């Protein structure tokens, strides 16, 4: 058995691509638009996984955008979150925050943070290797909302 991808429905494709690609740093691997079905499938991979994703179609996240407006209920607590390892958690959180993303659980410990996608999917960021030394403004920042 091989893990392939996780599918996430997105209501605003431009906002979602901005979040996942421009701010989070994922790379678009492929896209399929179905005129007849009125949907788009966009497959994204993390930097460093892109060669494997192009070769084996895994591991990736699939953004599914239905062209006709559709209201999606908030993700249920049973779903949990997506997680990505980052080279520098402080730089990643700063880039996301500068892009208008709320840091729900700041990386006070230099190791872990949580943010939320435009469609309410929790994203966990984990520091690669050893935790970074605590640093401001993160060390004293309070949690916002839930994740």
Q: Catalytic residue at 124?
A: yes
This prediction's pTM: 0.90
**Which residue of the set 50, 70, 124, 130 is catalytic?**
124
Q: Which two tokens stand for residue 31?
A: 């896209």
- In tens, the pLDDT along 41-70 reads 999 999 999 999 999 999 999 999 999 988
CA distances from 17 to 38, 88, 110, 112, 127 (A): 18, 22, 27, 23, 23
Among the listed residues 76, 65, 21, 77, the one whose alpha carbon sits nearest the alpha carbon of residue 46: 21
| pLDDT reported for residue 2 | 86
Residues 107/113, Cβ–Cβ less than 8 Å: yes
Q: Using pLDDT thresholds of 50, 70 and 90, give the confidence band for residue 72.
A: confident
């Amino acid at each position: 058995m091989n893990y392939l991808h996780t599918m996430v429905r997105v209501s605003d494709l431009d906002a979602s691509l901005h979040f996942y690609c421009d701010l989070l740093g994922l790379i678009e691997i492929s896209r399929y638009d179905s005129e007849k079905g009125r949907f788009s499938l966009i497959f994204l991979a993390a930097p460093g996984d892109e060669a494997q994703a192009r070769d084996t179609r895994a591991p990736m996240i699939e953004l599914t955008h239905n062209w006709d407006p559709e209201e999606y209920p908030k993700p249920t607590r049973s779903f949990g979150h997506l997680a990505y390892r980052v080279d520098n958690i402080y730089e990643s959180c700063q880039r996301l925050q500068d892009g208008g993303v709320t840091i729900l659980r700041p990386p006070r410990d230099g190791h872990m943070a949580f943010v939320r996608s435009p469609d309410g999917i929790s994203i966990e960021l984990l520091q690669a290797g050893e935790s970074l030394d605590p640093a401001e403004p993160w060390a004293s920042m309070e949690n916002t909302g839930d994740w």
